[in-house]
Chains A and B, each alone.
Chain A
Amino acid sequence: MTDINIIIIDRLGKKHNVLAPLDMSMNIMELIKSYELADDASIGICGGMAMCASCQCYIESTHKLNHKSDEEEAMLSEAFNLKSSSRLSCQIPITKDLKDLIIRIAPEY
């Protein structure tokens, strides 16, 4: 299995092209953390359980993503800086369909 390219725009607006592994059952929040693209204590605070909104991101490409679970919908409804493109990055598993996905990390809150 090969890695795929994903584009992550950090909180300062800087664009990063990163390689995401398909065989590590990782999600986008974990990808951001593994490349240290956000302050460690500011993202993924709940560890990826959709129980905080610290990993909110905006999807900036037209990829078709997995559907939001009820838990994710509910947590997003309490998040700030919400947009229609908002997702919790911990709820997006990395799959080959995400090749060249563009996401922007939402402001820290």
Chain B
Amino acid sequence: MIKSDILIIGAGPVGLFAVFEAGLMKMKCHLIDVLPKPGGQCSEIYPKKPIYDIPAYPEILADGLIDKLMEQCSQFQPGFTLGERAMTIDKQENNSFVVTTDKGTKHLAPIVVIAGGLGSFEPRKPLINNIEKYEGSGLEYFIKDPNKFKNKKVVIAGGGDSALDWAVVLCDIASEVTLVHRRNEFRGALDSVEKVQHLKNLNKINIITPAEVVGLNGNNNLESIIVENSDKSKTQIKTDFFIPLFGLSPKLGPIANWGLEIEKNAIKVNNSLDYQTNIPGIFAIGDVNTYPGKLKLILCGFHEAALMCQSAFKILNPNKKFLLKYTTVSGVKGFDGSHKKAEKAVVKTIS
């Protein structure tokens, strides 16, 4: 059982900033995210896009913002459960919550903060009739351990960065790598496209374009795939694995069944106070919440994180007096004096 003061679901920009705000008030955080790395949409969908409305940053790349937020919050040593989806929540007798992931990891905390953005990312599955039959028996949407494909035949479908990058990685591990894409052009970083071109020239990767995987065959495990070429002719290719990489799309997912009030696919919160949901002790901040006048902006999520922490502190320390401390005055560890402080200016008389 992983214990923390605040359990944050979603390690995007707002979840990460909440760790910092909570840390200032000596509350320890743990984060769960379905993606294998922190950053949420900023890392997954648009890492190299500039953002122009982060206060004091006239321009910052999305992945740069995540690096900065990680640097800022890591001084409070948050814990991470990455690559796992929060599935269920159970209220305990002492009003704490136990959140369990799809892998069975259990997390105990008196405060749960949902900072889930548009929801948890799920793979976009190609429209092939019997696709579900082979999930887990030859069909993979994620690559967690590349060694699983050692000396196996692998077909990857897709035309973006992840298809290109994994084709490069797997060609040293798998016995045969085939990349199938609907068009001749790929949508990826120039560097990745060039690497794949180089491997193709060395005959280490087979590229089939423009073409589409339209069928899967095999008794129990996947044995072959059917590729339809642009002239509608079909080819059968023997393979051990098929990895469709068509990106991820966010779904509210299991959180929708937690008994929270939902409106327009977002969680309703009390915005006049602290962004708490209809269940006391569960908060929702950032793009995942809704209230009259809601703006889905990262900067609004930061504000919501700060207010949420004030309430969380009162729940955790019902009888303690608390006064907002400025980091300029108290540094980042204001409570015990062991703070990081601005250097003293030199005071000297000018004669």
Contacts and interface: CB of A to CB of B under 8 A. Distances in A.
A binds B: yes
A49 B265 contact: no
A39 B118 CA distance: 12
Contact of B126 (A51, A77, A80): A80
Given A39-B265, A78-B246, A46 B46 contact: yes
Interface of A: 36, 39-42, 45-47, 49, 51-52, 54, 70-71, 73-75, 77-78, 80-81, 109
Interface SS majority for chain A: loop
B118 A74 contact: no
A63 B155 CA distance: 40
B46 A51 contact: yes
B125 to A, nearest CB: 9
Given A78-B182, A78-B246, A40 B127 contact: no
24 contacts: A36-B264, A40-B265, A40-B266, A41-B250, A41-B264, A41-B265, A45-B41, A45-B45, A46-B46, A51-B45, A52-B247, A52-B249, A71-B187, A73-B185, A74-B183, A74-B187, A77-B181, A77-B183, A77-B187, A78-B159, A78-B182, A80-B126, A80-B127, A80-B246
Contact of A81 (B49, B127, B160, B252): B127
Contacts of B126: 80
B interface residue count range (under 10 / 10 to 19 / 20 to 34 / 35 or more): 20 to 34
Given A41-B119, A80-B126, A109-B124, 13 more contacts: A36-B264, A39-B265, A41-B118, A41-B265, A45-B249, A45-B250, A46-B41, A51-B46, A52-B249, A74-B186, A75-B187, A77-B159, A78-B247
